[in-house]
Amino acid sequence: PIPAHVLTVGVFRGEDPATVRAAALASGVRAVQLHGNHPHGDFTALKDLGLPLVRAVDAEADLRCGAYDEDLLIVDAPRPGSGEPWDWAAVRGRPSGQWMLAGGLGPANVAEAIEAAGPWGVDVSSGVETAPGVKDSELIRAFLRAARHG
């Protein structure tokens, strides 16, 4: 079993609210992330799940925190999932409140990205993998050290 202190997040891209709801309830995730150009109504339709809702969008989207009634905003690369660094400074000062930066982050550049964009937090996936979907504990530790201490 997954420890209670671990926040499990179901990530959905392009799925309708009914599909997201069914998957979230069946899986027992503790938060839902809608990635991409989901309309405001999708967030409204899922609010009664009682789970934190995360809106993940690229830097060209509406970057107002809470604009879609989400609990957390993640600003991702123009090509999400590419693992490629992008112009993090382009979003500095645009989102207000607590938001997270994603896209092209890894141990070697996370400190630079934090300095450039000024996020509350960071989100990483492929930047700590040795192969697609395979996370590496040493890379994760290196990422955390770099994110905390620059």
Q: State the total domains in the chain.
A: 1
pLDDT at 2: 87
Of 24, 35, 7, nearest in space to 103 by CA: 35
pLDDT of residue 16: 98
Residue range(s) defining the domain that contains residue 50: 9-149
**Which of the four pLDDT bands, split at 50, 70 and 90, describes residue 150?**
low
pTM: 0.92
Within a domain: 4: no
How far apart are alpha carbons 40 and 57 in whole angstroms?
13
Q: Which residue has the higher pLDDT, 143 or 96?
A: 143
Lowest pLDDT segment from 6-15, 74-83, 86-95:
74-83
The answer to whether residue 2 is domain-embedded is no
pLDDT per residue as tens digits for the range 79-137: 877 788 999 999 999 998 889 999 999 999 999 999 999 999 999 999 999 999 999 99
- Residue 1 inside a domain? The answer is no
Residue 115 included in any domain: yes
Residue 133 lies in a domain: yes
Residue 100 lies in a domain: yes
- How far is residue 141 from each of residues 1, 35, 87, 144, measured CA to CA in Å? 22, 26, 25, 5
pLDDT above 90 covers a percentage of the chain that reads 88
Flag whether 49 is in a domain: yes
Mean pLDDT of 53-67: 94
Percent of the chain with pLDDT over 70: 99
How far apart (Å, rounded) are the C-alpha atoms in residues 40 and 144? Answer: 33
Strand partners, 74: 56, 100
CA angle (88, 90, 95) in 5-degree steps: 90
CATH of residue 45's domain is: 3.20.20.70
